[in-house]
């Protein structure tokens, strides 16, 4: 298992090695690489190892190159030496000769699962170099193959900074909604079947699987797509690209959203969950900001905004309809 982890880290490091040398690389590419190296000390070690191997491979002839690969990827690793698997070494040889050749070798399906705890954030770098930040109590899985990169957002919220690869489309599935990247940074929030996609930059194609092939649209920076299963179509609204994924700064933003959705998302940041006791409250809408480190303050003020009562009962906080008479004790 440890060897598999090392190999995946080395593959990502090799990907960064090629991307940083691409003439089309931008300052953002460098920033993303620096963020990746900051995630884990092993990342920088792997990158330095890749750089060393690549430099030596470029300077050698074919016979010497084969000997060097054998040195870096021996059949049995010497004691206390961090080995490079033969498949990674071979990938690097191809990367030196051309990025396309390396990609052609990547025909093995891989699956990974990532999750975060309540009130916690987690940043991960996928094997293609794409960076994903998970919000509280979020779970997603990835399935990468030679021809496609697929992510399923099982529950919660995630911010994607996608490495574009026209030969391997990147697709996020969230319930009945699919989001196909076209070179993008975007946020996806899933609450049951209620899905919101907010664009920070670039462009995506969003489709509703229940509405047929015609029910799809493209969204760009400054737009958000809302899929409400109670409606027959997706809805596009204007949004502030600078305010996408404000949950990364401990702020949950809601824009005219059902109270049931608001509560479900707040529960991802609160140890004692909120519970809506009366069904009539679920359809009420809320617009505003909830600070994840001041949820109790928001609850205290909520009865001034919506017709409800807030009470603690049985280890959870209950929201009940203030228009109904309380049950007699």
Domain span at 100: 2-105
CA–CA separation, 150 vs 97, rounded Å? 28
pLDDT score at 79: 40
- CATH classification at residue 313: 3.55.50.30
**What is each CA distance from 231 to 55, 103, 184, 228, 270, in whole angstroms?**
57, 42, 27, 6, 29
Residue 326 lies in a domain: no
My answer on whether 97 and 40 are in the same domain is: yes
Q: Is residue 180 part of a domain?
A: yes
Q: Is the residue at 223 inside a domain?
A: yes
**259 confidence band (pLDDT: 50, 70, 90):** very high
Contact between 140 and 152 (Cβ < 8 Å): yes
* % of the chain residues with pLDDT over 70: 78
Q: 2-6, 131-135, 220-224, 271-275 — which is least confidently predicted?
A: 2-6
Q: Are residues 317 and 288 in the same domain?
A: yes
Residues 139 and 63 in one domain: no
Assess whether 294 and 223 both reside in one domain. Answer: no
Same-domain status, 59 and 89? yes
pLDDT tens figures, 44-96:
888 878 777 766 655 555 544 455 445 544 444 444 334 444 444 445 544 44
Residue 70 lies in a domain: yes
161 pLDDT higher than 70: yes
Using the 3D structure, point to which of 190, 216, 243 is the last residue of a domain.
243
Q: Which residues contact 138 (CB under 8 A, 6 or more apart)?
A: 115, 116, 122, 153, 155, 156, 157, 158, 268
The predicted structure's pLDDT at residue 105:
45
Statement: the pTM of the whole predicted model exceeds 0.85:
no
179-205 confidence digits (pLDDT tens): 998 778 999 999 999 999 999 999 999
Tens of pLDDT, residue by residue over 99-153, are 434 444 445 688 889 999 999 999 999 988 899 999 999 999 999 988 899 999 9
Lowest mean pLDDT segment, chosen from 4-13, 110-119, 199-208, 233-242: 4-13
Q: What CATH number is attached to the domain comprising 226?
A: 2.60.120.1440
* Whole-number pLDDT of residue 253: 95
Q: What is the mean pLDDT of residues 153-170?
A: 92
Q: Is residue 154 part of a domain?
A: yes
Name the percent of the chain lying above pLDDT 90.
50
Residues 51 and 154 in one domain: no
Exposure string over 51-84, b if 16+ CB within 10 A, otherwise e: eebbeebeeeeeeebeebbeebbeeeeeeeeebb
Task: Point out the domain boundary residue: 208, 223, 243.
Answer: 243
Residue/partner pairs of 48-53 with CB below 8 Å, 24 or more apart: 49/10, 49/13, 49/82, 49/84, 50/10, 50/13, 50/14, 50/17, 50/92, 51/17, 53/84, 53/89, 53/92
Tell me, what's the pLDDT at 102? 43
Question: Do residues 159 and 218 both lie within one domain?
Answer: yes
Q: Give me the number of domains the chain comprises.
A: 3
What average pLDDT does the chain have?
Answer: 81
Assess whether 37 and 90 both reside in one domain: yes
29 confidence band (pLDDT: 50, 70, 90): confident
| Residues 234, 126 within the same domain | yes
Half-sphere exposure of 139 (CA within 13 A, CB side): 8
What is the rounded distance in angstroms from the CA atom of residue 196 to the CA atom of residue 286?
15
CA distance 249 to 291: 9
Does residue 328 fall inside a structural domain?
no
Same domain (yes/no): 115, 99: no
278-292 average pLDDT score: 94
Of 57, 80, 105, which residue constitutes the final position of a domain? 105
160 and 188, same domain (yes or no): yes
Question: Which range, of 104-108, 173-177, 309-313, averages the lowest pLDDT?
Answer: 104-108
In 3D space, the residue among 127, 133, 142, 113 whose CA is nearest the CA of residue 13 turns out to be: 127
Could you tell me if 74 and 137 lie in one domain?
no
Averaged pLDDT for residues 151-169? 92
CA distance 188 to 260: 18
């Amino acid at each position: 298992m440890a060897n598999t982890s090392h190999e995946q880290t080395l593959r990502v490091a090799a990907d960064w090695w090629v991307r940083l040398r691409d003439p089309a690389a931008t300052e953002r590419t460098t920033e993303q690489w620096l963020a990746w190296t900051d995630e884990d000390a092993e990342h920088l070690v792997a990158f330095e190892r890749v750089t060393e191997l690549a430099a030596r491979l470029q300077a050698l002839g074919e016979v010497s190159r084969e000997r060097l690969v054998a040195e870096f990827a021996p059949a049995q690793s010497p004691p206390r030496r961090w080995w490079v698997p033969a498949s990674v070494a071979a990938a690097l040889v191809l990367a030196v000769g051309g990025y396309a050749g390396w990609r052609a070798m990547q025909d093995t399906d891989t699956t990974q699962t990532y999750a975060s705890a309540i009130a916690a954030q987690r940043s991960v770098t996928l094997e293609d170099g794409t960076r994903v930040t998970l919000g509280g109590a979020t779970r997603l899985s990835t399935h990468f193959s030679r021809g496609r990169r697929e992510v399923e957002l099982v529950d919660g919220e995630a911010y994607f900074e996608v490495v574009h690869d026209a030969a391997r489309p990147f697709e996020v599935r969230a319930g009945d909604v699919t989001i196909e990247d076209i070179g993008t940074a975007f946020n996806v929030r899933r609450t049951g079947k209620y899905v919101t996609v907010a664009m920070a930059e670039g462009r995506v194609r969003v489709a509703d699987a229940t509405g047929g092939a015609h029910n799809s649209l493209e969204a760009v920076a400054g737009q958000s797509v809302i899929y409400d299963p109670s409606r027959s179509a997706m809805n596009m609204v204007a949004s502030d690209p600078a305010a996408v994924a404000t949950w990364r700064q401990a702020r949950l933003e809601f824009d005219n959203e059902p109270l049931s959705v608001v509560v479900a998302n707040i529960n991802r940041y609160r140890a004692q969950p909120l519970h809506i006791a009366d069904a009539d409250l679920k359809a009420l809408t809320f617009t505003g900001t909830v600070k994840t480190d001041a949820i109790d303050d928001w609850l205290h003020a909520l009865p001034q905004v919506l017709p409800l009562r807030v009470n603690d009962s049985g280890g959870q906080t209950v929201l009940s309809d203030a228009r109904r008479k309380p049950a007699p004790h």
